[in-house]
Structure 1
Amino acid sequence: MATEDCVETAELQLPRSRMANERLHALIPGGAHTYAKGDDQYPENLAPVISHGRGAHVWDIDGNRYIEYGSGLRSVSLGHAHPRVIEAVRRELDRGSNFVRPSIVEVEAAERFLATVPTADMVKFAKNGSDATTAAVRLARAATGRPRVAICADHPFLSVDDWFIGTTPMSAGVPAATKELTVTFPYGDLAATEELLNRYHDEIACLILEPATHTEPPPGYLAGLRELADRHGCVLIFDEMITGFRWSEAGAQGLYGVVPDLSTFGKALGNGFAVSALAGRRDLIERGGLRHSGDRVFLLSTTHGAETHSLAAAMAVQATYVEEGVTARLHALGERLAAGVRDAAAGMGVGDHIVVRGRASNLVFATLDENLQPSQEYRTLFLRRLLAGGVLAPSFVVSSALSDADIDRTVEVVAQACAVYRKALDAADPTPWLAGRPVKPVFRRLA
């Protein structure tokens, strides 16, 4: 059995985590507060329950230490308990957290955000990304008087709200009339998007998408969307929940030089503290304010949206990114990891089956079967071997707290996992290496 300092490479037993998972399922639907954290996303009986984290490492309640990737669903990009962020929060702790009027921290946080993301004129803070994206959609509908929302069909998640969730296999509870108001366009295909805008002439309020994901935008694509939105009178919304800070301090819009009408930020903004942001053009966002003569839009009115601890964390995160060149460090770490994983996979003869994709600061991996098709079974095998080697990696998304030694150790564990992967491919059957049911996709109709 593993000690606190390493996880045994042969097999992993998690008796305390197994019991805690039973308690979680008895009290919390799905056993977690985010579907992507569910134990169905991990090999059977190998879903560690976390005790604590520091830097790039986490410890489970069984005493095992892991090198962690994708921390906090990509939100913890500076590492757990980052000293600068924690100190900023600590300074606010004995000053109160929520008042009957705005605190001075709110204007300071807004000034800091708009200095970091200069393509926006105004910002409003909330607690989660879905609040911000839904507020952006509501603004677009109010500004245009149009009912339909056009979303990118190739992007996995935009909101928990009905306008998006109704398009997924988990659409129970969403009225058919609501589903019909959301239409889709393919990423990278301007002709198809224009055809959609022409088909629903004067009905589409907005185009909403992540400006980049595991693929870079084709040359001219984002600028082409900007032109289409202008020509067809709809609002262009960038969901920068992931691209914000990881692509540049000012997000993908700052890197690619295409300015949306509205954009939404979260995840890395608070380094794990709950904060998100809706930003954009003054004339649009002010519709949710008091300095205009039109109908008021109920934009974002959240009890905890301006809680001072999280805003203090966000300011510290932005200062750290800008002053310490965090985005560049994320890219350097990701490039080192991607090269190592690719070399390890190729060396074990599975280079075509374990595929690393994405921008270096936001790496994901695909697990392909003997026919080069995506496979949940092979993903399960791969995750089992990573966990056994002390690597907790639903993705390969790096944090700046990782050391070169952490990366090198991860590559060693990947090489060990690839050796087992090769055996399963040769047998054309990964089942003997699964030790239970395969991991499951998040979006599925039945539990």
Structure 2
Amino acid sequence: MDTEEFLLPRSRTANERLHAMIPGGAHTYAKGDDQWPENLAPVISHGSGAHVWDIDGNRYIEYGSGLRSVSLGHAHPRVLEAVRRELDRGSNFVRPSIVEVEAAERFLATVPTAEMVKFAKNGSDVTTAAVRLARAVTGRPRVAICGDHPFFSVDDWFIGTTPMSAGIPAATTELTVAFPYGDLAATEELLTRYQDEVACLILEPAGHTEPPPGYLAGLRELADRHGCVLIFDEMITGLRWSEAGAQGLYGVVPDLSTFGKALGNGFAVSALAGRRELMEWGGLRHSGERVFLLSTTHGAETHSLAAAMAVQTTYAEEGITAQLHALGERLAAGVRAAAAGMGVGDHVVVRGRASNLVFATLDEHGQPSQGYRTLFLRQLLAGGVLAPSFVVSSALGDADIDRTVDVVAQACAVYRKALDAADPTPWLAGRPVKPVFRRLV
């Protein structure tokens, strides 16, 4: 693998065109070229299964597909067949389509812990709707977020708590407070400090570590005792943990939950689900004050709902969650063995549930390093592996995993050289990659 010969001239030109017209050069900050080594940010032409091609003609084995949304692989035939059936029938109407009935029934059969569901287009829509609903039901102003989880919404109630808080009034941010994951005592202290002020607890039910025994059940009890709404953000855990999400796997039922990403296999669909008693506040069959819950022109676009139904059916009939876990376990074992074999097992570290693997790149002192991440990404790219994470799709085959492990081994050999020099800079060929959330460009 020779990274000096690996160039992406067409992608580099396309990135310049993107920045000239689109703030940030992408429509999601996590897809920005600042997340990739300088001048090595591929612009994608197309994808099929677990592979994508850039406009320079390079083929890659892809991980983290579509920011975890494409869990069945690109252009999945069963999903495309369902979408094509709707395309000639119209996509949006002045009244609900029968597809909305079918999609709701399919979703509630897949996630039986929920009693009602409302669809939208992206995760921020539904997490913000959940927060608004919790505030309306409780009459309380504060939102308690899990401070250990990286992202909940593009809306002010969350983004104001990040380093990219420009443009958000402090008065809005002051209403959001944080609790640590896994620490029931600290959460109870927070709820006591803001007694009768906290409308909801919102968190990802699981992340890079499994929830401690009894933790989610303990949160459920705390929410009940303090009269606040428990919201599970299942954007990532939905389908990947089980067909019914983390709530289905761990057996703890939230009041509200939000789904997206894998739900549409790349098509734009998200869902707010939950207890009928709460969800009806956004409907027409209650006698209280109305809540403007979700009202989106494109939320019920027929082909996206058809995609979601096909995804859920495929997961159930083909055992996709189990496949993702098996693929992830094979990959994690291979990467760990490759890293250990090259003497960097304490520096290239694979973490997370097998269906949702990420990697850490640690320096000679064992600290997270953007420089070493840059080195690692450069080597992977040159070897034909596009991997901002090691999140698998079910389209991966054993040969893909084996090839990935071979490329990782070669990358780890270079990583060892940089560690011995105590400086990755000679292998970067430009600025290091940068964290998404930072105050200055």
TM-score of the superposed pair, with normalisation by structure 2: 0.99
2:202 alignment partner, SS class: strand
CA distance in 2, matches of 1:109, 1:424: 52
Residue 436 to residue 9, structure 1, CA distance change in 2 (3 Å): closer
CA distance in 1, matches of 2:5, 2:416: 18
Contact 1:169–1:445 at 8 Å: present in 2 too? Answer: yes
Contact 2:373–2:433 at 8 Å: present in 1 too? Answer: yes
Deviation at 1:10, TM superposition (A): 5.9
Contact 2:103–2:306 at 8 Å: present in 1 too? Answer: yes
Deviation at 1:226, TM superposition (A): 0.1
CA distance in 2, matches of 1:44, 1:422: 22
Contact 2:111–2:244 at 8 Å: present in 1 too? Answer: yes
CA distance in 2, matches of 1:294, 1:74: 39
2:107 alignment partner, SS class: helix
Contact 2:348–2:362 at 8 Å: present in 1 too? Answer: yes
Deviation at 1:19, TM superposition (A): 0.2
Contact 2:223–2:230 at 8 Å: present in 1 too? Answer: yes
2:238 alignment partner, SS class: helix
What does the per-residue CA deviation read over 1:314-349, in whole Å, with 9 as the maximum and x for residues that have no partner?
A: 000000000000000000000000000000000000
Aligned to 2:348, which of 354, 358, 361? 354
What does the per-residue CA deviation read over 1:24-80, in whole Å, with 9 as the maximum and x for residues that have no partner?
A: 000000000000000000000000000000000000000000000000000000000
Deviation at 1:20, TM superposition (A): 0.1
1:205 alignment partner, SS class: strand
Contact 1:56–1:68 at 8 Å: present in 2 too? Answer: yes
Deviation at 1:12, TM superposition (A): 1.1
What does the per-residue CA deviation read over 1:244-296, in whole Å, with 9 as the maximum and x for residues that have no partner?
A: 00000000000000000000000000000000000000010110000000000
1:85 alignment partner, SS class: helix
Deviation at 1:8, TM superposition (A): 6.8
CA distance in 1, matches of 2:214, 2:258: 22
CA distance in 2, matches of 1:309, 1:430: 47
CA distance in 2, matches of 1:70, 1:430: 25
CA distance in 2, matches of 1:402, 1:339: 16
What does the per-residue CA deviation read over 1:199-243, in whole Å, with 9 as the maximum and x for residues that have no partner?
A: 000000000000001110000000000000000000000000000
Contact 1:8–1:390 at 8 Å: present in 2 too? Answer: no
What does the per-residue CA deviation read over 1:359-397, in whole Å, with 9 as the maximum and x for residues that have no partner?
A: 000000000000000000000000000000000000000
Contact 1:239–1:263 at 8 Å: present in 2 too? Answer: yes
RMSD, aligned α-carbons? 0.7
Which residue matches 1:433? Answer: 427
Deviation at 1:11, TM superposition (A): 3.2
Contact 2:126–2:270 at 8 Å: present in 1 too? Answer: yes
1:138 aligns with 2:135: no
CA distance in 2, matches of 1:60, 1:299: 40
Contact 1:379–1:439 at 8 Å: present in 2 too? Answer: yes
Residue 119 to residue 38, structure 1, CA distance change in 2 (3 Å): same
1:91 aligns with 2:85: yes
CA distance in 2, matches of 1:325, 1:261: 27
Identity over aligned pairs, percent: 91
Contact 1:213–1:358 at 8 Å: present in 2 too? Answer: yes
1:155 alignment partner, SS class: coil
1:243 alignment partner, SS class: coil
CA distance in 1, matches of 2:73, 2:2: 24
Contact 2:3–2:378 at 8 Å: present in 1 too? Answer: no
Structure 1 portions without partners, runs of 5+? 1-6
1:183 alignment partner, SS class: strand
CA distance in 2, matches of 1:361, 1:438: 28
Contact 1:190–1:221 at 8 Å: present in 2 too? Answer: yes
Structure 1 runs (4+) deviating above 2 angstroms are 7-11
| Equivalences, count | 441
1:422 alignment partner, SS class: helix
Contact 2:188–2:222 at 8 Å: present in 1 too? Answer: yes
Which residue matches 1:3? Answer: none
CA distance in 2, matches of 1:383, 1:102: 46
Deviation at 1:183, TM superposition (A): 0.1
1:196 alignment partner, SS class: helix
What does the per-residue CA deviation read over 1:170-191, in whole Å, with 9 as the maximum and x for residues that have no partner?
A: 0001100000000000000000
What does the per-residue CA deviation read over 1:76-134, in whole Å, with 9 as the maximum and x for residues that have no partner?
A: 00000000000000000100000000000000000000000000000000000000000
My pick for the range that moved more, 8-17 or 79-88, is 8-17
Contact 2:114–2:273 at 8 Å: present in 1 too? Answer: yes
CA distance in 1, matches of 2:46, 2:327: 23
Aligned to 2:242, which of 216, 239, 248? 248
TM-score of the superposed pair, with normalisation by structure 1: 0.98
CA distance in 2, matches of 1:356, 1:223: 28
Aligned to 1:392, which of 386, 393, 413? 386
What does the per-residue CA deviation read over 1:288-316, in whole Å, with 9 as the maximum and x for residues that have no partner?
A: 00000000000000000000010000000
Aligned to 2:397, which of 386, 403, 406? 403
